[in-house]
Amino acid sequence: MPRILSIDYGQKRTGIAVTDEMQIIASGLTTIPTNTLIDFLRDYFLKEKVETVLIGEPKQMNGEPSESASVIKGFVTHFSNIFPDMKVVRVDERFTSKMAFQTMIDSGLSKKKRQDKGLIDEISATIMLQDYLSSKRF
């Protein structure tokens, strides 16, 4: 079975998570500089079968798009032009950063490691992906 990949897109860095081949478990893959994202994905798609890419959709508490929504929408368009056959699913990413930080605390990570914004982005992508997998099962 092909994998599902999740992207927590940011202007500086992007967190990436991926499922196992059975699409049961979401795991953090990496955090990379955003300016290298397309090259990273191109290389990853050559090595691994991916059927769907989730891309976070930032929203405000009232459900309206957040300030960064237009930047991410531009990335989605760019991505779809480069990878026209890849299925893209937009997922609500509200609270994922807070949940990621809480996960780091609950895991007992030191204060220094909790300041690693790249790790927060990777965990956020993992949370989005796990939520998506859970919603598919019901």
- pLDDT tens for residues 38-75? 999 999 999 999 999 999 887 666 767 667 778 899 99
User: For the chain, first and last CA: distance in Å?
Assistant: 19
Tokens linked to 10: 């940011």
Mean pLDDT of 91-113: 67
The answer to whether 50 and 26 have CB atoms below 8 angstroms apart is: no
Confidence of residue 12 (pLDDT cuts 50, 70, 90): very high
pTM for the complete prediction? 0.83
